[in-house]
Amino acid sequence: MEQQEILALVEKKAYEWLNGKYDDATKAEVKRMLACEDKSELIDSFYRDLEFGTGGLRGIMGAGSNRMNIYTVGAATQGLSNYLKVNFSYLDEIKVAVAYDSRNNSPLFAETTAKIFAANGIKVFLFDALRPTPELSFAIRQLDCQSGIVITASHNPKEYNGYKAYWSDGSQVVPPHDGNIIREVAKVKVDNILFEGNPEKIIMIGKDLDEQFLEKAVSVSLSPDAIQKHKDLKIVYTPIHGTGVKLIPEALARMGFTNVIHVPEQDVVSGDFPTVISPNPEETAAMGMAIAKAKEVNADIVMASDPDADRIGVVLKNDKGEYVVVNGNQTALLFLYYIITRRKESGDLKGTDYIVKTIVTSELIADIAKRNRVELFDTYTGFKYIAEVIRENENKRRYIGGGEESYGFLPADFVRDKDAVTSCALMAEIAAWAKDNGKTLYEMLQDIYLEYGFSKEKMKYVVKKGKEGADLIKLMMKNFRSNPPRTLGGSRLLCMKDYLFLTERNLIDGEQTPIELNSTSDVLQFFTEDGTKISVRPSGTEPKIKFYIEVRSSLSSRADYDRVDKECEEKIEAVVKELVKE
């Protein structure tokens, strides 16, 4: 479509907003964009409708159909309300819980959401102030709700906000509900949105839920004696201006730790995230102030949470006294190794225990599970799929932990999403346990590699913006499917797994076998003769194609760690050059 055609359609939609049931401030903003000589902002604000996807909404805040505002939030809530009333028509009363994080406009969007639910006759439990996403998941189950909403854009830049929808089990919505809700939301026009409801339908919640959640969070402890001996462990923690400040320091205190060191500038709750470019604990830059504080006090461990406190970032001190950021695979590895080891030591592996990881997460976890006779489930990327496994195994097997490479971990199933609150408490305990065994956490990680083999992982992404970019990403996936590489990193490819068609193909003899999963996903995986694994998938929320690369080696001593790590890094870079064409 030509630029002039796009502009004509955009202007037509903008004038509909000027004449529609929108507030004066919104109309003034639309008028400003229409009057502006540069039409790029107007086009970006109106060229499409912000889609309610499988995880809800996420977008830049502002006026327009492609922006996060009370009208896009309102349409999502009205559509969800309509679906809930049909799906739970047999109940006398439908209940939902609503929470929000530290982002700009989060309180406004949460209040708007609550009022619309109330206007539809739905009882709302609204948190009285910002709260972590995992507490919202907990509240849904604790209060016997049929759904829940948290207003957050996770670790996206400050211009963004979002709307995540949850189901009655406390997990983000999955099929068939996600598709059904999407269809209901698509039907909603601004005139259909019931913005004002019965305030008596809205119940404010807070402190009591905090108490119940914190009690559960500290119940995951497996080594209370180690905490008692090392309660003065030096822990630097930062919420990076987010909701973690509400509960994580308290969870650490209740776990028994007495020396939690703050980064005062980042305890300030602010949607502007004034001390960082991006509030993402996956990025070393976001951890800079916490690492500086750790150097100042000679901390044993550094931990961070993202704005809605579902992801955990961890920094360890290496054998040279340097503070190093561990990746999400290593974080999951530490958690699951510790949980399995401690349960085994205490005679608490029951034979029905299982762990969960995503298919792009390190295969070293699978080796640990297999050797310790703990069942492992592999899922698609996204914690809603881990929650789905938990739901399917309820009252049959015991969940003891699950994680993904993108810095998410869930230590216990009283929450059904990533949980940085409980994870921070447990990671601090792991550091105390390591110290009780005469090791640093860094040495514990090395010892895992010594026992199970070395693994190094890296995620590389390529951004392809706009419709052309989306088409190019589709073409790239098509080419990988039809013409898989013969070798990668100097090693012959053995097989390809295609999760869109649920088939595994042996690339040596051509034999195909089915992959037994309940749903499909646009993901390809390649496995080489030397143990390298490459996963390729388009991002579900951003204009990116992602490549997850894992290479394997052996480690014979701690002294060899740096050499082996460097060799694996060089191999990853070689694979990236072969595979990723910018």
CATH code for position 257: 3.40.120.10
Q: Is the pLDDT of residue 1 over 70?
A: no
pLDDT class for 5, splitting at 50, 70, 90?
confident
Average pLDDT over residues 457-481: 86
Q: Which residues of 487-560 form beta strands (DSSP E)?
A: 487-488, 491-498, 503-506, 512-514, 524-528, 533-538, 544-553
From the centroid of its chain, how far is CA 53?
Answer: 15
pLDDT score recorded for residue 57: 92
pLDDT digits (tens, 9 = 90+) for 112-145: 999 999 999 999 999 999 999 999 999 999 999 9
Q: How many angstroms separate the Cα of 84 from the Cα of each of 73, 98, 121, 451?
A: 16, 15, 11, 50
pLDDT score recorded for residue 519: 86
Positive or negative: CA dihedral 219, 220, 222, 224: negative
Nearest residue to 473 (alpha-carbon basis) of 524, 406, 527: 524
- Burial (CB < 10 A; 0-12, 13-18, 19+), residue 225, is exposed
Find out whether the peptide bond into 176 is cis, omega within 30 degrees of 0: yes
Domain end position, chosen among 399, 431, 452: 452
From the centroid of its chain, how far is CA 47?
Answer: 28
**499 within domain boundaries:** yes
pLDDT digits (tens, 9 = 90+) for 279-294: 999 889 999 999 999 9
**Quick check: is 147 catalytic?**
no
Residues 16 and 137 occupy one common structural domain: no
pLDDT score recorded for residue 55: 78
Task: Decide the pairing of beta strands 533-538 and 544-553.
Answer: antiparallel
How many domains does one find in the chain? 4
Structural domain for 406, as ranges: 229-452
Which CB contacts under 8 angstroms, 24+ apart, belong to 198-204? 198/118, 198/119, 198/121, 199/118, 201/117, 201/118, 201/121, 201/122, 201/123, 201/124, 202/114, 202/115, 202/118, 202/124, 202/126, 203/123, 203/124, 203/125, 203/126, 204/126, 204/127, 204/128
Residues 259 and 153 occupy one common structural domain: no
Look at residue 275 and give its three-state secondary structure: coil
Residues 272 and 346 occupy one common structural domain: yes
Mean pLDDT of the chain: 94
Residues 148 and 296 occupy one common structural domain: no
pLDDT score recorded for residue 54: 73
Nearest residue to 254 (alpha-carbon basis) of 210, 317, 297: 210
Q: What's the whole-model pTM score?
A: 0.94
**60 within domain boundaries:** no
Average pLDDT over residues 366-381: 96
Q: Is the pLDDT of residue 560 over 90?
A: yes
Residues 444 and 460 occupy one common structural domain: no
Q: 249-272: buried (b, 16+ CB within 10 Å) or exposed (e) per residue?
A: bbbbeebbbeebbbbeebbebbbe
**470 within domain boundaries:** yes
**223 within domain boundaries:** no
* Rounded Cα–Cα distance for residues 569 and 48 (Å): 41
How long a stretch of residues is the chain? 582
Residues 91 and 201 occupy one common structural domain: yes
Q: How many angstroms separate the Cα of 250 from the Cα of each of 38, 412, 418?
A: 50, 18, 18
Q: Which residues pair with 302 in a beta bridge?
A: 236, 315
Domain end position, chosen among 437, 452, 467: 452
- Burial (CB < 10 A; 0-12, 13-18, 19+), residue 31, is middle
Q: Is the pLDDT of residue 582 over 60?
A: no
pLDDT score recorded for residue 581: 65
**242 within domain boundaries:** yes
**349 within domain boundaries:** yes
Nearest residue to 403 (alpha-carbon basis) of 416, 425, 421, 418: 418
Lowest mean pLDDT among 148-157, 294-303, 542-551: 542-551
Residues 169 and 307 occupy one common structural domain: no
Residues 330 and 368 occupy one common structural domain: yes
pLDDT digits (tens, 9 = 90+) for 379-392: 998 899 999 999 99
pLDDT score recorded for residue 175: 84
Residues 233 and 368 occupy one common structural domain: yes
Q: Is the pLDDT of residue 481 over 90?
A: yes
Q: Which residues pair with 376 in a beta bridge?
A: 355
Residues 477 and 561 occupy one common structural domain: yes
**12 within domain boundaries:** yes
**419 within domain boundaries:** yes
| 459, 172 Cβ separation under 8 angstroms | no
Residues 155 and 242 occupy one common structural domain: no
* Rounded Cα–Cα distance for residues 217 and 572 (Å): 37
Residues 201 and 236 occupy one common structural domain: no
pLDDT digits (tens, 9 = 90+) for 17-62: 999 999 999 999 999 999 999 999 999 999 888 888 777 899 999 9
Within the chain, what is the greatest distance between any pair of CA atoms? 72
Residues 6+ apart with CB under 8 A from 385: 174, 358, 379
Domain end position, chosen among 435, 452, 469: 452
Q: Is the pLDDT of residue 201 over 90?
A: yes
Residue labelled with tokens 């969800």:
80
Catalytic residue, from 81, 102, 154, 535: name it.
Answer: 154
- Tokens (6 digits) for 293: 């504080």
**Domain CATH number, residue 574:** 3.30.310
